């Protein structure tokens, strides 16, 4: 087993964290560019948002495939293939000339990006000692948020320097280097035990999880929260690119620095879960998101930014508690239970724009806030129902 503070520990942690940075940077780099793409292709906000959402949709669906395949063919090998696909699809995006081809390549890229979130924790669970795994997972989750922030920041500023297609060159070349370094430094699996792929068993496990009330409620809470939270950033980008703000893609990218409070929320989730029931902790996170969302109704830019700082803290507090709760409540096939949570999570991310778009078109940002609060009220009720169900 890989022990904490050994050369193998640092090499493996470096490789997985580097992969996480590039995977989530590639996934989220298009979000600050949506107003620019809307003008480029003469599309509505909803139509443009699909260039971003289709990546998260493909990633979410791919999780149903990668987990089972990695059980049959190995963690490291499949991870390297997925990272290679990520690099090639990102470089292919530099040649995009039509919106249709952009959507197709983003779907392919999203599918390739699913390898890491489906495999990383399973690899660490097999190769790391328990003490080392706790530390390594903390590093890995931090790298996830760092990748999401850095991808949005860099794409916004790169787009200002040149045409938006130029954004994909540094990200694609960096992804090639990332793939090589993961191949070079990630230790080969020593404790992997091959399990024949059984589609019937995988479907049976997922159906079993969906019939557990506590798991299904948690899946809905996580998916519907991300359904709103991530897509709020999409529509606020259009708000801030218009009068009276007229912010460029570079400045819009800076808004995603608000994710930093999410890192704090994740870090505190363990203590919150020890002090109160995890379902009540989720409810607390949702209430915080509602307060942050309401604050963005104010017109001054500092208040809008403050509202997103508050919302990010609440979202990641709830998300971290929900993720841990799934692992605790699954009575069998814990890996597939966690993967199913991520499927709901990313399907929510990819479909939230469909729900918010009519409110945006009819009432602008005020409509987005009203629709958001309605959905958060639903997830708040679900979290209270979860608390009641867990008592029984």
Q: What is the C-alpha separation between 316 and 24, in angstroms, rounded? A: 16
2 beta partners: 128
Tokens encoding 291: 């307060």
Work out the pLDDT band at 133, boundaries 50, 70, 90.
confident
Q: Looking at residues 347-372, what average pLDDT do you find?
A: 95
Question: With contact defined as beta carbons under 8 Å apart, do 39 and 237 qualify?
Answer: no
Tokens 């520990």 correspond to: 9
Q: How far apart are CA 93 and CA 110, in angstroms?
A: 12
With a CB cutoff of 8 Å and minimum separation 6, the contacts of 148 are: 24, 25, 27, 28, 256, 259
44 alpha-carbon distance from chain centroid: 24
- 305 pLDDT higher than 70: yes
Structural domains in the chain plus CATH codes: 1-191 (1.20.1250.20), 198-392 (1.20.1250.20)
Backbone angles phi, psi at 128, to 5 degrees: -100, 150
Q: Are 226 and 348 in contact (CB under 8 A)?
A: yes
Reported residue count of the chain is: 392
Q: Is pLDDT of 156 > 80?
A: yes
pLDDT band at 209 (very low <50, low <70, confident <90, very high): confident
How far is 98 from 22, CA to CA, in rounded Å? Answer: 25
What pLDDT score does 303 carry? Answer: 96
- CB burial of residue 200 (10 Å; 0-12, 13-18, 19+): exposed
Contacts of 154 (CB under 8 A, 6+ apart): 25, 29, 167, 170, 171, 253
Q: How confident is the model at residue 382 (pLDDT cuts 50, 70, 90)?
A: very high
Q: 327-344, pLDDT tens digit by residue?
A: 778 877 777 788 889 899
Q: How far apart are CA 101 and CA 54, in angstroms?
A: 12
133-137, 164-168, 210-214, 369-373: least confident range: 133-137
Q: Scanning the structure block, which residue is given the tokens 């035990």?
A: 193
Longest dimension (CA), the chain: 59
**Class of residue 208 by CB neighbours under 10 A (exposed 0-12, middle 13-18, buried 19+):** middle
Residue 169, pLDDT score:
93
Question: What are the Cα distances from residue 187, in Å, to 79, 103, 135, 191, 225?
Answer: 12, 35, 17, 11, 36
Q: DSSP assignment, residue 2?
A: B
The mean predicted confidence, pLDDT, of the chain is 89
Between residues 390 and 24, the one the model is more confident about: 24
pLDDT of residue 69: 81
Determine the distance from the C-alpha atom of residue 334 to the mean position of all C-alpha atoms in its chain, rounded to a whole number.
Answer: 20
pLDDT score recorded for residue 142: 77
The average pLDDT across 261-271 equals 81
Q: Which residue did the predictor score with more confidence, 321 or 371?
A: 371
Sequence-distant (≥ 6) Cβ neighbours of residue 17 within 8 angstroms: 139, 140, 142, 143
The whole-model pTM stands at 0.86
Closest by Cα among 308, 324, 146, 127 to 230: 308
Q: Does residue 57 surpass a pLDDT of 80?
A: yes
Measured in Å, how far apart are the chain's first and last C-alpha atoms? 39
94-132 pLDDT, tens digit per residue, is 999 899 999 999 999 999 999 998 888 788 888 888 788
Q: State the angle between helix axes of 260-275 and 130-161 in degrees (0 to 180), rounded to the nearest 10.
A: 150
Give, for 112, the enclosing helix (H) or strand (E): helix 99-113
Return all residues near 374 (Cβ < 8 A) that are at least 6 apart.
none
Per-residue model confidence (pLDDT) at position 391: 57
* pLDDT score at 304: 96
Residue 328's SS3 state is helix
Rounded Cα–Cα distance for residues 62 and 43 (Å) = 28
Spatial separation of the C-alpha atoms in residues 88 and 285, rounded to whole Å: 38
Q: Which of the four pLDDT bands, split at 50, 70 and 90, describes residue 249?
A: confident
pLDDT by residue (tens digit) across 18-34?
999 999 999 999 988 88
């Amino acid at each position: 087993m890989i022990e904490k503070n050994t050369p193998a520990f640092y090499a493996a942690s470096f490789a997985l964290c580097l992969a996480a940075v590039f995977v989530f940077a590639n996934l989220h780099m298009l979000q600050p560019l949506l107003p620019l793409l809307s003008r480029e292709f003469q599309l509505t906000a909803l139509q443009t948002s699909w260039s971003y959402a289709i990546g998260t949709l493909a990633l979410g669906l791919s999780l149903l495939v990668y987990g089972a395949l990695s059980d049959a063919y190995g963690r490291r090998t499949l991870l390297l293939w997925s990272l290679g696909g990520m690099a090639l699809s990102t470089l292919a995006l530099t040649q995009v000339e039509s919106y249709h081809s952009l959507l197709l390549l983003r779907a392919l890229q999203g599918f390739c990006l699913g390898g890491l979130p489906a495999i990383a924790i399973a690899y660490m669970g097999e190769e790391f000692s328990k003490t080392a795994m706790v530390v390594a997972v903390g590093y890995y989750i931090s790298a996830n948020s760092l990748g999401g922030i850095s991808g949005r920041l860099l794409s916004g500023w790169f787009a200002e320097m040149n045409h938006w297609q130029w954004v994909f060159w540094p990200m694609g070349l960096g992804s090639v280097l990332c793939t090589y370094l993961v191949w070079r430094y990630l230790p080969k699996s020593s404790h992997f035990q091959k399990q024949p792929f059984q589609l019937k068993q995988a479907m049976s496990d997922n159906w079993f999880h969906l019939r557990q009330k506590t798991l299904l409620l948690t899946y809905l809470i996580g998916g519907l929260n991300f359904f709103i939270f991530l897509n709020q950033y999409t529509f606020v980008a259009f708000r801030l690119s218009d009068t009276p703000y007229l912010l460029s893609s570079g400045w819009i990218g800076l808004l995603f620095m608000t994710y930093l409070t999410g890192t704090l929320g994740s870090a505190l989730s363990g203590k919150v879960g020890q002090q109160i029931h995890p379902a009540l902790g989720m409810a607390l996170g949702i209430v915080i998101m509602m307060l942050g969302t309401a604050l963005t109704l104010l017109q001054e830019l500092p208040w809008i930014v403050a509202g997103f700082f508050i919302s990010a803290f609440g979202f990641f507090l709830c998300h971290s508690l929900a993720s841990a709760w799934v692992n605790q409540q699954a009575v069998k096939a814990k890996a597939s239970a966690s993967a199913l949570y991520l499927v709901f999570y990313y399907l929510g991310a990819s479909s939230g724009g469909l729900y918010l778009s009519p409110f945006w078109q009819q009432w602008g940002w005020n409509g987005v806030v009203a629709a958001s609060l309605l959905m958060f009220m639903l997830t708040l009720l679900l979290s209270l129902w979860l608390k009641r169900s867990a008592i029984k």
